[in-house]
Amino acid sequence: MHTKRQHYEELKSIWNEIERIAFELSGDSKIYKIGADPRDFNVLWRSYIISLNEKHKTSIDKLKQENEIERPSRNSSSFDLGGKEDEELSLFNEMPLEEKIMKVNVFLRTEFYYCYFCNLKYTSEKELFQNCPGIRKIDHE
Protein backbone atom coordinates (compact mmCIF):
# COMPACT_ATOMS: atom_id res chain seq x y z
CA MET A 1 0.00 0.00 0.00
CA HIS A 2 1.36 3.41 -0.95
CA THR A 3 1.62 6.20 1.55
CA LYS A 4 0.21 9.57 0.51
CA ARG A 5 3.76 10.82 0.04
CA GLN A 6 4.69 7.88 -2.22
CA HIS A 7 1.48 8.33 -4.21
CA TYR A 8 2.23 12.03 -4.69
CA GLU A 9 5.83 11.32 -5.74
CA GLU A 10 4.61 8.73 -8.25
CA LEU A 11 2.08 11.20 -9.69
CA LYS A 12 4.72 13.93 -9.87
CA SER A 13 7.04 11.58 -11.75
CA ILE A 14 4.25 10.65 -14.19
CA TRP A 15 3.41 14.35 -14.62
CA ASN A 16 7.01 15.31 -15.43
CA GLU A 17 7.32 12.53 -17.98
CA ILE A 18 3.93 12.95 -19.66
CA GLU A 19 4.52 16.70 -20.05
CA ARG A 20 7.85 16.02 -21.76
CA ILE A 21 6.29 13.40 -24.06
CA ALA A 22 3.48 15.78 -25.06
CA PHE A 23 6.02 18.56 -25.70
CA GLU A 24 8.02 16.26 -27.97
CA LEU A 25 5.14 14.56 -29.82
CA SER A 26 3.45 17.91 -30.47
CA GLY A 27 6.51 19.14 -32.34
CA ASP A 28 7.03 22.02 -29.93
CA SER A 29 10.45 20.61 -29.05
CA LYS A 30 11.51 21.48 -32.61
CA ILE A 31 10.39 25.11 -32.37
CA TYR A 32 11.32 25.83 -28.75
CA LYS A 33 14.03 28.44 -28.28
CA ILE A 34 15.76 29.18 -24.99
CA GLY A 35 13.84 31.90 -23.16
CA ALA A 36 10.67 31.43 -25.24
CA ASP A 37 7.45 32.88 -23.85
CA PRO A 38 5.69 29.90 -22.22
CA ARG A 39 2.32 31.38 -23.22
CA ASP A 40 3.18 30.55 -26.84
CA PHE A 41 2.82 26.86 -25.95
CA ASN A 42 -0.09 24.63 -25.00
CA VAL A 43 -1.05 25.01 -21.34
CA LEU A 44 -0.90 21.21 -20.98
CA TRP A 45 2.90 21.34 -21.07
CA ARG A 46 3.53 25.01 -20.38
CA SER A 47 5.05 24.34 -16.96
CA TYR A 48 7.57 22.10 -18.75
CA ILE A 49 8.56 25.11 -20.91
CA ILE A 50 8.98 27.17 -17.75
CA SER A 51 11.22 24.48 -16.24
CA LEU A 52 13.32 24.38 -19.44
CA ASN A 53 13.68 28.16 -19.32
CA GLU A 54 14.60 27.99 -15.63
CA LYS A 55 17.29 25.37 -16.29
CA HIS A 56 18.79 27.56 -18.99
CA LYS A 57 18.47 30.67 -16.84
CA THR A 58 20.23 28.91 -13.97
CA SER A 59 23.08 27.90 -16.28
CA ILE A 60 23.37 31.45 -17.60
CA ASP A 61 23.22 32.89 -14.07
CA LYS A 62 26.08 30.60 -13.00
CA LEU A 63 28.17 31.75 -15.95
CA LYS A 64 27.41 35.38 -15.17
CA GLN A 65 28.27 34.90 -11.49
CA GLU A 66 31.60 33.45 -12.54
CA ASN A 67 32.11 36.66 -14.52
CA GLU A 68 30.89 38.75 -11.54
CA ILE A 69 27.85 40.02 -13.42
CA GLU A 70 24.68 39.98 -11.32
CA ARG A 71 21.18 39.59 -12.65
CA PRO A 72 17.98 39.77 -10.59
CA SER A 73 16.24 36.42 -10.26
CA ARG A 74 12.66 35.93 -11.38
CA ASN A 75 9.89 33.76 -10.07
CA SER A 76 9.37 30.75 -12.36
CA SER A 77 5.65 31.49 -12.74
CA SER A 78 6.45 34.86 -14.32
CA PHE A 79 9.60 33.87 -16.22
CA ASP A 80 9.88 35.97 -19.37
CA LEU A 81 6.32 37.22 -19.01
CA GLY A 82 7.32 40.76 -18.21
CA GLY A 83 5.93 40.31 -14.70
CA LYS A 84 2.47 39.41 -16.02
CA GLU A 85 0.75 36.41 -14.49
CA ASP A 86 -0.22 33.53 -16.74
CA GLU A 87 -3.88 33.19 -15.74
CA GLU A 88 -4.50 30.17 -17.97
CA LEU A 89 -1.61 28.29 -16.37
CA SER A 90 -2.68 29.37 -12.88
CA LEU A 91 -6.15 27.91 -13.47
CA PHE A 92 -4.68 24.73 -14.92
CA ASN A 93 -2.32 24.34 -11.96
CA GLU A 94 -5.26 24.50 -9.55
CA MET A 95 -6.38 21.09 -10.84
CA PRO A 96 -5.32 17.96 -8.97
CA LEU A 97 -2.32 16.17 -10.51
CA GLU A 98 -4.46 13.16 -11.44
CA GLU A 99 -6.75 15.39 -13.49
CA LYS A 100 -3.86 17.16 -15.22
CA ILE A 101 -2.29 13.80 -16.11
CA MET A 102 -5.61 12.57 -17.47
CA LYS A 103 -6.07 15.70 -19.61
CA VAL A 104 -2.61 15.32 -21.16
CA ASN A 105 -3.14 11.60 -21.75
CA VAL A 106 -6.50 12.30 -23.43
CA PHE A 107 -4.74 14.89 -25.63
CA LEU A 108 -2.01 12.39 -26.56
CA ARG A 109 -4.59 9.71 -27.33
CA THR A 110 -6.73 12.06 -29.44
CA GLU A 111 -3.96 13.80 -31.37
CA PHE A 112 -1.31 11.07 -31.69
CA TYR A 113 -3.02 7.75 -30.78
CA TYR A 114 -0.48 7.49 -27.97
CA CYS A 115 -1.30 6.15 -24.53
CA TYR A 116 1.12 7.06 -21.79
CA PHE A 117 0.17 4.08 -19.63
CA CYS A 118 0.49 1.59 -22.51
CA ASN A 119 3.69 3.41 -23.52
CA LEU A 120 2.64 2.81 -27.08
CA LYS A 121 1.77 4.85 -30.17
CA TYR A 122 -1.03 3.13 -32.04
CA THR A 123 -1.52 3.46 -35.79
CA SER A 124 -5.15 4.59 -35.57
CA GLU A 125 -7.91 5.58 -33.19
CA LYS A 126 -9.56 2.23 -33.86
CA GLU A 127 -6.42 0.31 -32.87
CA LEU A 128 -6.07 2.45 -29.74
CA PHE A 129 -9.62 1.73 -28.60
CA GLN A 130 -9.33 -1.99 -29.42
CA ASN A 131 -6.09 -2.50 -27.49
CA CYS A 132 -5.86 0.13 -24.76
CA PRO A 133 -7.86 -0.55 -21.57
CA GLY A 134 -8.48 3.12 -20.71
CA ILE A 135 -7.18 6.59 -19.96
CA ARG A 136 -6.07 6.10 -16.34
CA LYS A 137 -3.24 4.14 -14.74
CA ILE A 138 -5.72 2.02 -12.78
CA ASP A 139 -7.29 0.90 -16.09
CA HIS A 140 -3.92 -0.63 -17.02
CA GLU A 141 -3.36 -2.61 -13.81
Q: Which of 37, 39, 48, 43 is nearest to 15 (CA)?
A: 48
Strand, helix or coil for residue 94:
coil
Q: Which of 23, 45, 14 is nearest to 116 (CA)?
A: 14
* pLDDT per residue rounded down to tens, the chain (141 residues): 679 999 999 999 999 999 999 999 999 999 999 999 999 999 999 999 999 999 887 666 666 666 654 444 444 444 445 557 899 999 999 999 999 999 999 999 999 999 999 999 999 999 999 999 999 999 999
